[in-house]
Amino acid sequence: MESKLSCCKKYRYLNHKQVPSEFQELFIYTGYRNPNSSFRSCFKSIFCLNNNESINFWTHFIPFLICLGILVKNLCTNEVIKDYLTYPLLVQLSTICFYLLMSSLAHMLNCMSPIARHVCFILDYLSISIYGMGCAIAYKSYTLSTIKSSQKDKLFDYYILMVLIVSLIANVMSSTSRFIISPLQRSILRTLSFVIQYVFVNLPLLYRYIYFYHQTIFKNFNFIFSFLSSSSDIEIVHHDNYFLFKKGSDFFYLIQFLAALSSAFLYTTHVPERFWPGKFDIIGQSHQIFHITSFICSLSQYTALKYDMKQLIEMAHDQIFDRASFGYSTVPIIDSKISNSKIMAICLFLNFLILVYYYFKAIYFNPWNKSKIVNRKIDKGKNGHHKDD
């Protein structure tokens, strides 16, 4: 333990005036690592709690290990592997693991160079785009499949295609924000990209509540809290042309929504460091809390979808579910059906092209390079890390 502490003492960190503008975070004044650190230095820094990125790393890497453990446990269950109705849930869980890992690596390696910083966080945005697509596939497979309505089929024919387009646009918006000098404009564009993707991905939830509670909406306002009393047991109620369920998933969807609101609030307001600049540089800053709330959001969503999956399996056993169409999404533009795996592959490929484009932009058309503030020289031996870096 003493050797680790002595190792951490070898590193001296910079304040916000000693790093280029593109490395600065709002209201964070100290604990910056040298912007030209080696991989070895970056790796060592995450075990030292005297810089402003260590907690950011661990607040997503520990959740990554938790989700990875859940994924491995599911993959080791024979019943899960044999029943293809569970595959969309595994896809959604895999995308959670992916974005948590990319975020962790981004916070660990972003100080290797200005270009590395851009690439790290663009990969982070890419993983969020992939995560949105994984959620959409799970919603399409479970949440929408448990609703028997011809109106639903018409409304959501374009759902997967729409989410694919919106996820790509969100990635482009987030990546573009990295090359905007103004902090306010950068924050607005990036936040807007996340909000747009979240709203479009979660349209099936909005439709389900409006569809199942539409009569109650006009009679009284108790429908808002009606799902809080739902049990985890599955109860199918036949009503005209659809099946109404009492869902244990409703409570977890509510937690997801509240966690998403909290995440948006923290990401946009930078509370608490906004009111006490420099006091939460190492621990307690909004981005660290944002990591925790975003993980709660994702885990609650996974749990809710697991309940929806169980209901779908129950429907399949009762022979009121069309297994033949499961795992495929309608694409009306080409008048055909495409498997969810192919859609995910297309999403990965197109997001990779976006990554390549912004990588070259970071090299050749980076507006930060033209800023006089960015060209401030840093004395590595005097103000930066230990000379062994």
Query: 3-class SS at 245?
Result: strand
Residue 16 annotated as binding site:
no
**How far is CA 35 from its chain centroid?**
26
Residue 291 annotated as binding site:
yes
Q: Cβ–Cβ contacts within 10 Å for residue 332, how many?
A: 9
Q: What's phi and psi for 147, nearest 5 deg?
A: -105, 120
Q: What is the CA radius of gyration of the chain?
A: 23
The token pair at 288 is 């660290």
Beta bridge partners of 328: 339
The token pair at 186 is 């950068």
User: Is residue 117 within 8 Å of 170, Cβ to Cβ?
Assistant: no
Q: How many CA atoms lie within 13 A of 109 on its CB side?
A: 16
Taking the chain, what is the end-to-end CA distance rounded to the nearest angstrom? 21
Angle, in degrees to the nearest 10, between helices 340-364 and 114-138? 160
User: Is residue 137 within 8 Å of 92, Cβ to Cβ?
Assistant: yes
Q: 138 vs 307, 340, 375, CA distance in Å? A: 12, 10, 47
What's the DSSP call for residue 371?
-
Query: 3-class SS at 332?
Result: helix
Beta bridge partners of 246: 235
The Cα–Cα gap between 280 and 193 comes to 27
Residue 270 annotated as binding site:
no
52: CB partners within 8 A, 6+ apart? 13, 25, 28, 30, 31, 32, 281, 282, 285
The Cα–Cα gap between 185 and 172 comes to 15
User: Is residue 241 within 8 Å of 148, Cβ to Cβ?
Assistant: yes
Q: What's phi and psi for 344, nearest 5 deg?
A: -65, -40
Residues tagged in the binding site annotation for Zn(2+): 107, 287, 291
Residues tagged in the binding site annotation: 107, 287, 291
